Structure 1
Amino acid sequence: MSLPTYTGLLGKSWHYSMRTVGVVVLLYLVLPVLVIIPLSFNAEPYFSFTSGMLQLDPAAFSTRWYQELFNDPMWTLSFRNSLLIAFSSTVIATVLGTVAALGLSRANLPFKGLLMGTLISPMIVPVIISSAGMYFFYSKLGIAQSHLGIIIAHAVLGTPFVIITVTAALTGFDHSLTRAASSLGASAPYTFMRVSFPIIRPGIISGALFAMVTSFDEAVIVQFLGGVEQRTVPRQMWSGMREQISPTILAAATLLILGSIIMLVAIEVLRRRSLRMRGVRE
């Protein structure tokens, strides 16, 4: 965005200073993560750059760790479990979070602040505390050490993200549209699908993506509730760091980084689309 022609020296200095600070903060946050990507192509079994890599010698780079990743039955089981658990928990979190956000959007709802705080509390409470409580509670129900227990636990963690994004999408929503549909004889499900859903759909999808990323990257709850057959990618990476350090972990981390980047880009696209639908210009 170009500066107005009347911007003075102080305004220009402030503008470019803020941009510089933003770039520095971005590099500070991103560089420690991005350094994993070239390390995952190291031909040697090291977690550091070799002299050949620094000299850009093609012989110093290899895809051997990606080949080992996809040929290892434990890693393939971990990816399969992570996808199953993330997808299932995302569906549950999306449904529950959307319904909760629709209820919280009503002006006449009593104790709205208290309900909102309670529903988003899984984002605030440390995961280790939630994991311990879930372990004892789910053990009583007999669903600990099972896929079902982990799916429900991850749905609990993902629901607040859906609530927040859908609530944001409902900001400024004209409820007279739903009342008009009801006055014309439309049922509540029909009104939601044809009136409310098209407007809040970007918020729902964004919340679902956040919930999926949270589930796919979560490691603490799996340590408490998962058994051998419920091993996920984060738990496999944790076990690999403790038992046998191998650059295969870097290959898995690279795939997770690329997946997260794709998710974030999709979320940003949906956010901009939601703003355009509401007539907001950035």
Structure 2
Amino acid sequence: MDLLHSQQIHTGSIIFKSGTSCKLNTCRKNDSICECYLTIEYDSSMLYKGLGLPAIFLKPQNGTAVNFNTGEKFNEKIEDSFILTDGFNLQKVISINGRFPGPTITSYENQNMIVHVRNLMHTDSMTIPWHGMHQRSTPEEDGVAFITQYPLLPGQNQTYKFKAFPFGTHFYHAHIGDQRTMGLYGPLIVIPEGFQQVSQPQEGNNVFIAVLQDWNHDDSSKVLYQKLLWGDYDRKTGKAYNVTNDHSGAKYSRFRFHSGLINGRGRYSPSSTENNEAPLY
């Protein structure tokens, strides 16, 4: 039995399979409520943790992820459940319902959103802002740490309630430290009422959602901040990296770009002529 269909997420009396997010019989076109559950926890890339099995380290090979020790391939459903990033070694990430990035929440304009969030990270507090939502009459649900709420501490739960407005392609994300870049985010799609403003229906199999992210192999915010201040060097050549600056000379980013990810997957290219053949989908 593969991870995608066997791992369960317990939230009170509700049990969800890994990767799903919203309650059955909600979030449909004629439903007044869209009710979803998000479980936040630390996870690892390049690691298969099937139930009843020891963890299996993975490596990229010819566009797929295989057993690091034996080279054994996995079936498509199991491989779809892997958190791979760009296939570069085992890295600490944050998963939502066992997914990286988090699962898509799709609702309809003006539905009443009810989102239950559970923080299972051992040492990090967190909040989730609902980026793009106007939060009219519900500013306390905006999810900005120390502005509209206190952070959700490890082991705590919180239920957000707000209107799905306006329609469009939005996303939910972390608002503390580097949690968003580590995976604490996901698409939030609000379909317009009646589809008056769009050229074709935005539901079912008609739409492919692409989430783009830059990826860095250094997951320590403290180390990255020091690199922002003082620079970094290439460990292979011994040469210093140029610090990224904006037009005014201010340091623009603490991150050195190692890879680009689409829906949580990409390939690491150590040079312009080679890549590590990691899976892209």
TM-score range (shorter-chain normalised) is under 0.3
Higher helix share: 1
Higher strand share: 2
Larger RCO (alpha carbons 8 Å, 6+ apart): 1
Q: TM-score, normalised by structure 1?
A: 0.26
Q: TM-score, normalised by structure 2?
A: 0.26
